Amino acid sequence: MEPHGGEHKPHVPPPSLWPVGFAVGIVVLLLGLIVGWGIVLLGAVLAVGFGFLWIRDLAAGVDTSVPDIEPERREVGTPQAAPIPANVGEAGMPLPDGDEEERFPRSRFLEGATLGFGGVIGGMITLPVLGFTVLPAFVGQEKELVDVGALDDFPEGQWIITTFLQDPDVGEVSRRTAYVRHNGMLGDVPSVTIVSSRCAHLGCPVQPNGPVDDEATETQNTDQGEVTRIPTQPSGFGCPCHGGQYDTEGNRTAGPPVRALDRYEYRIRNDRLLLGDTYSVGGVDGEGKDAKISKYRLATPGVHIDGIEQLLYPIPVPK
């Protein structure tokens, strides 16, 4: 007697492209940890959305009921037939032809297509990120120092407004302004204060709060472009855009800026003053060659780099 309820077949998840979307969402999320929070949010939305659709397809059509199977009934007194050996009798199903053995079911094709498509997308997104992350460590990326003049061109204790080309290959668009003061000797090494003109609020150019001696302007043509030096006597620095104010060491004294003015690294080579990279400053204690500088990696204007506020900026903002 045949059991009631028919056959009970196990549920097989249908082929789907949702896993590819889920993988792309994870890759975008990881990429966002480098680029910014907006990309992180986009990746999270993609991962959650495609993950939900994937789970929905897996759960769809699952039969959790127990089949109603009636046990086989036999007439009382009916002799039991002897079991047939496995090697006796006909085959349970016809053997497949040679052509049928070479064919693949549709589910296997979609599985391979899904994995291949996901691998291509993951490679397209991941390889550029890995390239920009790893290659700079093996390729010469050291920034060329900028020669702004001889050390004697900067009288001790005198502020000099110095303009120069940060990248001569780019041209005038890379012209920058720095406020340079020779502090004298610190032991056997010259001490120089070099303050950036970029306001720590929104990046507007700050101006010296004091007279500027335009008649004493000096212009020098170097291999890296034209360098201009103008003496000034500031009591501090101010931003004409939003009212940010700084003292002569670059510390914020009033207005909306969130930190002190950035500074330039420098080298003294053959009695020439060479400017390097800029770095951010949390604050400066003391003055001149005796100043103690709270130095940080360069951050964009408006970003806190110390104090409890820095917790609001756990990932450096791209510059």
Which element (helix H / strand E) includes 81?
none
Of 113, 141, 169, which marks where a domain is finished? 141
pLDDT at 235 over 60: yes
* Beta carbons within 8 Å of 58's beta carbon, 6+ residues apart: 13
Number of Cβ atoms within 10 Å of the Cβ of 116: 11
| Stretch 47-70: mean pLDDT | 71
Model pLDDT, residue 319:
52
- Nearest Cα to Cα of residue 305 among 285, 272, 279: 279
Indicate if 132 and 7 belong to the same structural domain. Answer: yes
The CATH number linked to 293 is 2.102.10.10
Of 111, 141, 171, which marks where a domain is finished? 141
pTM, whole model, 2 decimals?
A: 0.57
Mean per-residue pLDDT over the chain, rounded: 80
Q: Would you state the structure tokens that stand for residue 160, as one six-digit string?
A: 């000099």
In a domain, 235, yes or no: yes
Indicate if 222 and 269 belong to the same structural domain. Answer: yes
Indicate if 279 and 266 belong to the same structural domain. Answer: yes
How far is the C-alpha of 303 from the C-alpha of 293, rounded, in Å? 18
* Beta carbons within 8 Å of 144's beta carbon, 6+ residues apart: 224
Indicate if 152 and 116 belong to the same structural domain. Answer: no
Give the residue with greater pLDDT, 67 vs 201. Answer: 201
In a domain, 4, yes or no: yes
Indicate if 23 and 53 belong to the same structural domain. Answer: yes
| Stretch 72-81: mean pLDDT | 60
Residue 82's SS3 state is coil
Indicate if 41 and 135 belong to the same structural domain. Answer: yes
Indicate if 60 and 150 belong to the same structural domain. Answer: no
Per-residue pLDDT tens over the stretch 266-294: 999 999 999 999 999 999 999 988 999 99
Of 118, 141, 164, which marks where a domain is finished? 141
Q: How many domains are there within the chain?
A: 2
Per-residue pLDDT tens over the stretch 100-159: 555 556 666 667 777 777 777 777 777 776 666 666 655 555 568 999 999 999 999 999
For the chain, report the end-to-end CA distance as a whole number of angstroms.
Answer: 79
Indicate if 207 and 128 belong to the same structural domain. Answer: no
Indicate if 288 and 171 belong to the same structural domain. Answer: yes
In a domain, 239, yes or no: yes
In a domain, 51, yes or no: yes
In a domain, 89, yes or no: no
Number of Cβ atoms within 10 Å of the Cβ of 267: 12
Helix pair 106-134, 18-35: axis angle to 10 deg: 10
Indicate if 8 and 151 belong to the same structural domain. Answer: no
Is residue 249 within 8 A of residue 291, CB to CB? The reply is yes
Under the banding of pLDDT at 50, 70 and 90, the label for residue 76 is: low
Which segment of 11-15, 21-25, 47-51 scores lowest on mean pLDDT?
11-15
Query: What letter represents residue 21's amino acid?
Result: G
* Beta carbons within 8 Å of 23's beta carbon, 6+ residues apart: 118, 121, 122
In a domain, 94, yes or no: no
Model pLDDT, residue 181:
95
In a domain, 81, yes or no: no
Domain boundaries, position 205: 146-312
In a domain, 251, yes or no: yes
Q: Residue 90, class by beta-carbon neighbours within 10 Å (0-12 exposed, 13-18 middle, 19+ buried)?
A: exposed
The half-sphere exposure of 12 on its side-chain side, counting CA atoms within 13 A, is 6
Indicate if 120 and 209 belong to the same structural domain. Answer: no
Indicate if 216 and 305 belong to the same structural domain. Answer: yes
| Stretch 193-203: mean pLDDT | 94
